Chains A and B, each alone.
Chain A
Amino acid sequence: MVSDEDLVGKFPGQSLDRDNAAHFRGRLERRLLINRCEACGLWRHPPKPVCPRCWSSSVRPTEVAGTGTIHLLIFLHQGPPAEGVDYSKPYPVATVELDEQPGLRFTGAVMGAPNDAIAIGERVRLDWIERAGAPLPIFRLAEEGRR
């Protein structure tokens, strides 16, 4: 397992702590881990040390399928510098409602589709790219088909 020191070093600019470290370790293996309560089954993101519904501290980072529906969508015409991001084509960022539970959402860029095909309500699936030496979760439109 990658050390805490190396894990933090892999994600400069992100605020890593003991509660979200497992999520970021999952990213290094290209697995999207979301906390799920072992006592009552509730999914909750971002990571917290207890379940907000039953207050159990048995919250287990659990892999999700990565399929879902675009709930919020923006196109960045400018933004923070990031490797491989060129805002001359507006950069689509979507908050995706995951299939595991109503209201459970995860945010990432949408790639591999023309911007005018990306819209709220579209089905997407998780994929991974490499950015600045670490895997980054992104979404692709579902009808693209699996590689």
Chain B
Amino acid sequence: MSSSRNPLKDKVAIAGAATTGFTPHNTERSHASLAAEACIKVIRECGLTAADIDGICGSNPSAPMVQSMLGIPEVTWFANLPIPFVNQVATASAAVAAGLAEVVLAYHTPYRLPWNTANSLKDPFRRGGMGMGPGPGPDTVAGAVGYTAWASRYMYEYGAKKEHFGYVALNGRANAARNPAAAMREPLTMDDYLSARMIRWPLCLLDMDVPVDGADAFIITTAERARDLKLPPALVHAAVLGMIDHNEEEQTPALRDHGQRVVVETLKAKSDIGLDGVDVYFPYDGFSFITLSWLEMVGYCGPGEAGAFLEANRDPATGRVLINGRVPMNPHGGALSEGGTQGSGHIREAVHQLQGLAGERQTPDARTALVTAGGFFFNAQGLVLRKG
């Protein structure tokens, strides 16, 4: 089913990536002002101007709004797509490869809103348009709750311990300490993790990503054009959005049979680089459980072994994971500690690692980054980036 056809391979590059940094509090800033800051920053860092941009691809705010706000004179292609953010990167890359546009501004603006934090309701400007009428009630596993439900199945089938989920949270926090853009940087111990407030058993507060304000922005263009810009390019080597027919949370067939399976099979078919060639790994961690699943699905370890694998590949003193003594996992802190960026933070950090711009988090000689974004149902995604 997974085709090896990949005419996009290494033809398109992410020429730059910029962030505002993230905060776990309601800022006095608008959604649009955060997007503007990140977009202007990345355009300038690449040595471009508004007139160079001829494509716009983002989440919120809308592409027309961003174009008007930034005075981008003309575009020939634009799209607003559902997250996680591999979707934006994959689709913008395809648009560049096909010639719909040559220089695409891509952006994502995580923002604290009632769907991810009730605390946002304290800000009257965040209440609008959210349809705060009656919801479907608690008697469902649809939506984000679905990951908690499958985490319970994971514990049932494999006897996974709560500490195994905790290893993911502790790795994220240890890495966020070295990332000035991260929202959560205070040290976290296993005792802290195990005593955190239970939200939906078996997942507690620290198993769930932190709602933040902030923005990431990217320039996506041809590999050729990117080589003429100011920063070293990161080539888009392979991308996939995987999904199966039983994509409702409650109807998903099994722990090993969902969108992640399609992602991994497709990356194996399309990419020249195997897991041994990956220098830095970005498994999604919107819920800690998703990372355990990705580690097993991509093949770092067998089914049900992710907890033991992390235990064997982490430094107990720092909590930091170094896979096979070499490969960092979410060196920016991930969604759990940098902030819930729906994948844009993972991709931004992957680009910076390949560009050699990751500061004290820099992985020596990072040449290939693997991003496995999203979860099981309708948002499993994969992206392989290479140093240009």
Q: Across the interface, which residues of B come within 8 angstroms of A46, CB to CB?
A: 248, 251
Count of inter-chain pairs, beta carbons less than 8 A: 88
The answer for the CA separation of A52 and B149 in the assembled complex, in Å, is 25
Taking the closest CB of chain B, its distance from the CB of A118, in whole angstroms, is: 11
The answer for the CA separation of A93 and B153 in the assembled complex, in Å, is 13
The answer for the CA separation of A93 and B248 in the assembled complex, in Å, is 16
Of B135, B141, B245, which is within 8 A of A107 by CB?
A: B141
Asked if residues B200 and A77 are in contact (CB atoms below 8 Å), the reply is yes
Asked if residues A72 and B138 are in contact (CB atoms below 8 Å), the reply is no
Of B135, B246, B250, which is within 8 A of A80 by CB?
A: B135
* B225 interface residue (CB < 8 Å to A): no
Known pairs A72-B153, A120-B156; A79 contacts B133 (CB<8 A):
no
* A40 interface residue (CB < 8 Å to B): no
Of A13, A75, A78, which is within 8 A of B136 by CB?
A: A13
Asked if residues B138 and A82 are in contact (CB atoms below 8 Å), the reply is yes
Known pairs A74-B149, A103-B246, A103-B253; A14 contacts B136 (CB<8 A):
yes
Additional pairs, 14, CB under 8 Å, beyond known A74-B152, A77-B199, A93-B149: A12-B133, A13-B134, A72-B150, A74-B149, A75-B201, A76-B201, A80-B136, A82-B138, A90-B198, A91-B138, A93-B140, A107-B250, A109-B139, A120-B152
Taking the closest CB of chain B, its distance from the CB of A91, in whole angstroms, is: 6
Asked if residues A93 and B246 are in contact (CB atoms below 8 Å), the reply is no
Taking the closest CB of chain B, its distance from the CB of A96, in whole angstroms, is: 9
Q: Across the interface, which residues of A come within 8 angstroms of B201, CB to CB?
A: 74-77, 90
Asked if residues B141 and A77 are in contact (CB atoms below 8 Å), the reply is no
Asked if residues A80 and B200 are in contact (CB atoms below 8 Å), the reply is no
Asked if residues A13 and B137 are in contact (CB atoms below 8 Å), the reply is yes
Closest to A108 in B: B139
Q: Across the interface, which residues of B come within 8 angstroms of A120, CB to CB?
A: 152-153, 156
Asked if residues A77 and B156 are in contact (CB atoms below 8 Å), the reply is no
Q: Across the interface, which residues of B come within 8 angstroms of A79, CB to CB?
A: 138, 200
* A42 interface residue (CB < 8 Å to B): no
Taking the closest CB of chain A, its distance from the CB of B74, in whole angstroms, is: 39
Number of residues in A with C-beta < 8 Å to the partner?
36
* A28 interface residue (CB < 8 Å to B): no
Q: Which parts of B136-175 form the interface with A (CB within 8 Å)?
A: 136-142, 145, 148-150, 152-153, 156
Closest to A71 in B: B153
* B197 interface residue (CB < 8 Å to A): yes
Q: Across the interface, which residues of A come within 8 angstroms of B246, CB to CB?
A: 103
Taking the closest CB of chain B, its distance from the CB of A54, in whole angstroms, is: 14
Asked if residues B197 and A73 are in contact (CB atoms below 8 Å), the reply is no
Closest to B254 in A: A103
Taking the closest CB of chain B, its distance from the CB of A115, in whole angstroms, is: 9
What 0/1 readout, one digit per residue, does chain A (91-103) give for beta carbons within 8 Å of chain B? Answer: 1010100000001
Q: Across the interface, which residues of B come within 8 angstroms of A106, CB to CB?
A: 250
Taking the closest CB of chain A, its distance from the CB of B372, in whole angstroms, is: 23
The answer for the CA separation of A131 and B153 in the assembled complex, in Å, is 28
